[in-house]
Amino acid sequence: MNEIPLGFLFTALAVLIVLSAFFSSSETALMALNRYRLRHLAKQGQRGAVLASRLLDEPDRLIGLILLGNNFVNILASSIATVIGLRLFGDSGIAIATGAMTLLLLIFGEVAPKTAAAVFPERFAFPASFVYTFLIRPLRPVIWLINWLANGLLSIFGLHPKNRGSNALTRAELHTIVRESGQRLPDLDQTMLLSVLELGQASVEDIMIPRAEIVGIDITQDWDDILDQLIHAQYSRLPVFEGSVEHTIGIINVRRLIGPLIDQSLTLPRLKRRLAEPYYVPEGTPLTTQLLNFQRQERRSALVVDEYGDIQGLVTLEDILEEIVGEFTTSPDSDHEGITLQDDGRYIVRGNLPIREINRELEVELPTDEASTLNGLVIEQLESLPTVGAAIELPDAHIEVRTVRKRAVDTALITTFKRDDSEG
């Protein structure tokens, strides 16, 4: 190489350092790509994403190609630097060239390009995928040989590259991704997605209207009282029963009675003919399952029964949807029905209110493992029937029984605490 001009050698060295930076940055960028965003962009037809996705389907070949190019470039660059060092400094030039190349490759060929690629992976990976797609074809035999030798070495230690784990995400991992989406998702969308992910962790008994609060039509009452109840009904669908909800004979859609109610032609036999068959669901049915069941059965409400077939409550499609999007009937600025904010910052809460609803409105985490309502939680914690003034202490709140009715908590006074994020 003594006949080659120094200017040419320096130019070749600079080009090789740039190529080293290319191989290093593209390797980091391709491995740092968000695989789910990559699939999304590939489905949209973005050419760079499509090529990158194909390359990453065979990571051993891709890595073999990158390392082949990177090592070849680095070794050649070191050789040229040695020649330059010898010609400029004599025998001491070998040490000088080694130190200089170590510093140059470390800064310009490794740290700087890899850092940039890790921060902006798509900017580096997509253009590089065009180059690698072109190079991988003519170099396939060499890459195959390198990978065959490398994979053979790995198999000795029980590592088989083809036995890769699944990239499927668990519910908890999806939950973390949504929470860390930050400004990429509006707060409302983030809240709804988190609610959907948490839907399967609750069952119909957690959100159902308790049996004692079911509003329905008792056909054993006076007909004038039944008509008055239908005219002033607050719900579009009501269970119709004889004496008690245990003897439900059907569900009536009040909207279909508007005409007969206006022209006063509605009679009890006509009312019974318009009844739909009652729909029953087990109390342990997950909300995700019940949502699909409502869709399949073309129903909007169901009576919840226990293992003995006794009615425990009523669940509606609106109840499940409110778990996702929040209350339909109240605005964020208005008091929640059943929760009243006091001047001192404490809350008066109805005892029959579901714990999940309290947690959502007060932003606390009262336990829902054993009890589904505030009354059930108090009884569970006290291990006895509630009395006025009885209190329980929980990590997120202090609950004091305010009034009792029929051996159950009627209202309670809740003082919330701010949970320390450093606590587990």
Domain containing residue 258: CATH number = 3.10.580.10
Q: Determine how β-strand 339-341 pairs with β-strand 311-316.
A: unpaired
Pair 254, 374 in one domain: no
SS3 label, residue 327: coil
Pair 215, 294 in one domain: yes
Model pTM? 0.53
Mean pLDDT estimate for the chain: 84
Give the pLDDT score at 172: 67
Half-sphere exposure of 11 (CA within 13 A, CB side): 5
Cα separation, 259 vs 267, in Å, equals 12
Joined tokens for residue 411: 């209202």
**Residue 390 belongs to a domain with what CATH number?**
3.30.465.10
Cα separation, 416 vs 346, in Å, equals 7
Q: Considering only residues 181 and 209, tell me which one the structure prediction assigns the higher pLDDT.
A: 209
Cα separation, 267 vs 270, in Å, equals 5
Pair 317, 390 in one domain: no
Question: Is the model's pLDDT at 22 over the cut of 70?
Answer: yes
Pair 318, 359 in one domain: no
Q: Is residue 167 part of a domain?
A: no
Total structural domains within the chain: 3
Question: Is the model's pLDDT at 332 over the cut of 50?
Answer: no
Give the pLDDT score at 419: 57
Per-residue pLDDT tens over the stretch 116-142: 999 999 999 999 999 989 988 888 888
Pair 145, 11 in one domain: yes
- In total, the chain counts a number of residues equal to 424
Per-residue pLDDT tens over the stretch 43-87: 888 999 999 988 888 887 888 888 888 999 999 999 999 988 888
Pair 302, 272 in one domain: yes
Pair 348, 316 in one domain: no
Joined tokens for residue 113: 């390009």
- The boundaries of the domain holding residue 404 are 337-414
Q: Is residue 343 part of a domain?
A: yes
Q: Is residue 168 part of a domain?
A: no
Q: Is residue 65 part of a domain?
A: yes
Per-residue pLDDT tens over the stretch 217-246: 999 999 999 999 998 888 888 999 998 899
- Write out the H or E segment, with its range, that includes residue 283: none
Confidence band (pLDDT; 50, 70, 90) for 164?
A: low
Report yes or no: 416 and 364 within 8 Å, Cβ to Cβ: yes
Q: Is residue 160 part of a domain?
A: no
Pair 9, 149 in one domain: yes
Among the candidates 264, 296, 323, a domain finishes at 323
Joined tokens for residue 341: 């904010």
Pair 310, 369 in one domain: no
Report yes or no: 389 and 383 within 8 Å, Cβ to Cβ: no
Pair 131, 20 in one domain: yes
Pair 83, 21 in one domain: yes
Pair 74, 104 in one domain: yes
Half-sphere exposure of 33 (CA within 13 A, CB side): 31
Among the candidates 140, 155, 170, a domain finishes at 155
